[in-house]
Amino acid sequence: MRDPLLVIGGVTDQMAQKLEQSFALHHREEIADINAWMRDFGPGVRQILTNGHYGVPADLMNALPNLAMVSCYGVGYDNIDTDACIAKGIVATHTPDVLNAEVATTAIMLLMATYRELLRDEAWARSGRWKTQGNAPLTRSLDNQTIGILGMGRIGQEIARKLAPWSPTILYHTRTQKDVPYEYVADLTDMARRSDALVVITPGGPATHHLVDALVLDALGPDGTLVNVARGSVVDEEALVAALRAGSLGWAGLDVFEQEPAIPDALCAMSNVVLLPHVGSATNETRAAMGDLAVENLVQFQKAGTVLTAVPECK
């Protein structure tokens, strides 16, 4: 008999095929009567596969007496209560590094799309306005900009590296200074004031909640661009809408939102924003690598009681 694995959120066919060799998959969304399922399978469940969006709800974690390991398909794990994991002896894993390049590409795509008005000009070409109204208005160059990066970890460093062909001046803000060849700015508002664009790439969770607030947005200013590829919670979305509406912030490129999958109507109605449905890592290649790592963590724990990529709190 294969061990039961509770699966929260979607998995790719490739992940399901690999997992089915070792586990009997129980998909949370297919369980109609969770109490009956708990009685039948709960005590046998030692492992969960989830993602950064769903995490593990507290009632589920508490109801599984033998839960020992949670594998998160994603690098961000702010919806997994790591304090509760530590208290219960549960090891949590995530998928760092394998998505650095893709999320960095997404950040640069949003910078390019906002600076060069990609959506406006694409619509200009497609709608025939070129013929009826003439050339599209000029845009801004992404070259030689001062780019402030909030968060200089694995992905932040990859964003800085990938920006090199545009000859930027890179500033960064984190809680502790890093060994990187960029200028550290101890105060986030100062950094925003000095930056043409601010790229947000910290984890989510209480420590970073609304780090980018009205003051920071105001400091970025009417010619400034905000790009968020981290978590919606890091930016005060209400303040962002107000700043974009008032023109005290120029542009925003957003892959993440506070109440996903909901995006405020006000943002959807603005022409100075580019919106993506949280697709920072969402390519076949990168999701395959993330899926492989999430599955390898599960299988190795099942076989040997060890994991490859524990979250720092569980190391």
Tell me which residues are annotated as active site.
Answer: 231, 260, 278
The one among 152, 160, 191, 311 contacting ligand A2R by CB under 6 A:
152
Stretch that binds ligand A2R, among 7-15, 38-46, 170-178, 302-310 (CB under 6 A): 170-178
Query: What is the C-alpha to C-alpha distance for residues 225 and 116, in angstroms, rounded to an integer?
Result: 12
Instruction: Answer whether the bond into residue 261 is a cis peptide, omega within 30°.
Output: yes
Reference 63, options 32, 84, 82, 94; nearest CA is 84
Stretch that binds ligand A2R, among 63-71, 128-136, 139-147, 152-160 (CB under 6 A): 152-160
DSSP 282: -
67 vs 155, beta carbon nearer ligand A2R: 155
User: Does residue 153 touch ligand A2R according to CB under 6 A?
Assistant: yes
Query: What is the C-alpha to C-alpha distance for residues 189 and 192, in angstroms, rounded to an integer?
Result: 5
- Tell me which residue has its CB nearest to ligand A2R: 153
Stretch that binds ligand A2R, among 125-133, 169-177, 215-223, 244-252 (CB under 6 A): 169-177
Query: What is the C-alpha to C-alpha distance for residues 153 and 150, in angstroms, rounded to an integer?
Result: 10
Minimal distance in Å, beta carbon 6 to ligand A2R?
23
Distance from CA of residue 18 to its chain's centroid?
25
User: Does residue 231 touch ligand A2R according to CB under 6 A?
Assistant: yes
The one among 212, 230, 298, 311 contacting ligand A2R by CB under 6 A:
230
In order of 145, 153, 164, 306, the CA distances from 294 in angstroms are 37, 20, 31, 13
Minimal distance in Å, beta carbon 265 to ligand A2R?
25
Q: Give, as ranges, the residues between 253 and 312 that touch ligand A2R (CB under 6 A).
A: 280
User: Does residue 159 touch ligand A2R according to CB under 6 A?
Assistant: no
What is the DSSP secondary-structure string of 200-250?
E----SGGGTT-B-HHHHHHH-TT-EEEE-S-GGGB-HHHHHHHHHHTSS-
Minimal distance in Å, beta carbon 103 to ligand A2R?
6
User: Does residue 209 touch ligand A2R according to CB under 6 A?
Assistant: no
- Identify whether the C-beta of residue 65 lies closer than 8 Å to the C-beta of residue 43: yes
223 vs 260, beta carbon nearer ligand A2R: 260
Residues forming contacts to ligand A2R in the complex (CB under 6 A) are 75-76, 96, 103, 151-156, 174-176, 201-204, 207-208, 211, 230-231, 280
